[in-house]
Amino acid sequence: METKRVIIVGGGFAGINLAQKLSKNKTFEITLVDKNNYNFFPPLLYQVATGFLEASNISYPFRKFFQDKNNLRFSLGEFKRVIPELNKIETDSCELFYDYLVFATGTESNFFGMENVKKNSVPMKTVQDALVLRNHVLMNKEKATRTSDELERKKLLTIVVAGAGPTGVEVSGMLAEMNRSIFKKDYPELKREEAQVYLVDALPVVLNPMTKKSQEQTLHKLKGLGINVLLNHAVKDYVDDVVTFDNGNTIETKTLIWTSGVTATNLEGLPKEVLGKGKRVMVDGYNLVNGMRNIYAIGDICFMTADEKFPQGHPQLAQVAIQQAKNLSENLERIAEKKEQKLFSYTDKGTMAIIGVNKAVADLPGNIHFKGFIAYFMWLFVHLFSLIRYRNQVKTFYNWLVAFFTRDQSLRFIIETKPDK
């Protein structure tokens, strides 16, 4: 059987799962392309940002992962463009030719055209973002201990989290708990009431994709942690340490954490007519890009309406990416064997969000709902076993045990790197 070259652009949930499954079939020679040399686990970025996990707990190098896979290679580079008529992609480091091309590049932060917000806020999409946020929050605490200007200290100790989805809820809940238990011990010079966390969203509810019961319980828990929840507040601008909302309200702060929206990454070379809402690539029921014969898209970047249960497209969740990767790997094998392909059908396994220690909500299929301690441990279990390697699972479990029993963790380092002069 003729060997086929498969290039996968992007090593997130979708890309790494597709590469792993295809590597079991020697019919394929697979090259995974990514601008980072490691895979990382986005749902736990906020714990790196708040010093409860090390970056290495949620990351793993691709080349280490591929060591025992003879037909799987890694190419470090940022995607630049695809030339479909030549079956070729260009990165900032090389050119690669393919028989099948799969885009699994995920999403990036969407600032909705607000340049000041883009320039001055801290997003939560990458490991670098998480480390920048950790440095930023800790450095502001240090500055607050030194200043005698009350207004300046208030701005340094006020944090605004924009976006009340799972990431926004999780990071604001963690910061609020740290204000109550950890920071008062680390920074005895500061008064606890001076530290304020705001969670803001343009929508009238928190956790919009979840059930009304989860939304109400989450809002109650967030307020119980002392978080100032401002709904129907769309950020309009952020300049000179002032967050301005579309209703005219303002908050003075040195920290705006942006978790408010995502957009698909740019894929130069694809026709503009294949791009749908949020620049997502429109695909058929087999994840084949509309109008293409050998270019696919899976995960957050694709938009599929062929699934009967999700005619408006799938939610941008890890489970969708993982299931699409599995289905596409099977279909590529079916194509090689000249068998009929299988349409993709998403199986919803539910949605969870953690608010704080022993505080979480979970919506499962069949209108099943959990909250509190049970939902908290369900969240821990699911996320722990979703980590890519056993080593990551062990280290993360250890750090969580320490944090659970001590309500503290010793990973609050300010480590800033500066370019060589």
Structural domain includes residue 53: no
Inter-residue contact 356 to 172 (CB < 8 Å): no
Beta-bridge partners for 161: 199, 257
The answer on 252 and 289 residing in a single domain is no
From 336, 366, 391, the end of a domain falls on 336
HEC-encoded secondary structure of 122-149: EECCCHHHHHHHHHHHHHHHHHHHHCCC
The answer on 281 and 156 residing in a single domain is no
Structural domain includes residue 366: no
Q: What is the CATH number of the domain that holds 86?
A: 3.50.50.60
Angle at which helices 390-406 and 372-384 cross, to 10°? 150
Structural domain includes residue 266: yes
Residue 221: CB partners within 8 Å, gap ≥ 6? 173, 355, 356, 359
Structural domain includes residue 167: yes
CA distances from 167 to 49, 98, 342 (A): 12, 36, 34
How far is 307 from 300, CA to CA, in rounded Å? 15
Residue by residue, DSSP assigns 261-315 as: -EEEPP-TTS-GGGB-GGGPEEE-TTSBBTT-SSEEE-GGGEEE---TT-TT---
Structural domain includes residue 239: yes
**Please, which contacts does 287-294 make with residues 24 or more away whose CB atoms are closer than 8 Å?**
287/324, 287/327, 287/328, 287/331, 287/344, 289/103, 292/84, 294/87, 294/98, 294/99, 294/100, 294/101
Q: What is the CATH number of the domain that holds 126?
A: 3.50.50.100
The answer on 202 and 190 residing in a single domain is yes
Q: Which domain holds residue 279?
A: 4-35+77-109+262-336
From 287, 303, 336, the end of a domain falls on 336
pLDDT tens-digit readout, 41-52: 999 999 999 988
The answer on 320 and 303 residing in a single domain is yes
Q: Is 268 left (phi over 0), alpha (psi -120 to 50) or beta?
A: beta
Q: Which of 72, 107, 164, 130 is nearest to 318 (CA)?
A: 107
Q: Which of 280, 283, 284 is nearest to 262 (CA)?
A: 280
The answer on 150 and 250 residing in a single domain is yes
* pLDDT attached to residue 419: 52
From 336, 360, 380, the end of a domain falls on 336
The answer on 189 and 148 residing in a single domain is yes
The answer on 244 and 302 residing in a single domain is no
The answer on 273 and 204 residing in a single domain is no
Strands 250-252 and 351-356, sheet pairing: unpaired
Structural domain includes residue 357: no
- Residue scoring higher pLDDT (380 or 172): 172
How far is 172 from 376, CA to CA, in rounded Å? 16
Structural domain includes residue 48: no
The answer on 178 and 159 residing in a single domain is yes
Structural domain includes residue 147: yes
For the ranges 166-170, 333-337, 358-362, the lowest mean pLDDT is seen at: 358-362
The answer on 134 and 85 residing in a single domain is no
Q: How far is CA 52 from the centre of its chain?
A: 17
What backbone phi and psi angles, to 5 degrees, belong to 9? -100, 110
How far is 90 from 77, CA to CA, in rounded Å? 9
**How many domains is the chain partitioned into structurally?**
2
* pLDDT attached to residue 356: 83
Q: Which of 108, 80, 103 is nearest to 8 (CA)?
A: 103
Query: What does pLDDT average to over the chain?
Result: 92
Taking the model in full, what pTM does it have? 0.92
How far is 128 from 108, CA to CA, in rounded Å? 13
* pLDDT attached to residue 265: 87
pLDDT tens-digit readout, 352-391: 998 987 889 999 988 899 999 899 888 888 888 778 777 7
Is the pLDDT reported for residue 116 higher than 90?
yes
- Residue scoring higher pLDDT (388 or 236): 236
Is the pLDDT reported for residue 133 higher than 90?
yes
> What's the rounded mean pLDDT across residues 14-36?
96
The answer on 250 and 153 residing in a single domain is yes
* pLDDT attached to residue 421: 43
Q: Which of 248, 246, 247, 243 is nearest to 258 (CA)?
A: 243
The answer on 120 and 105 residing in a single domain is no
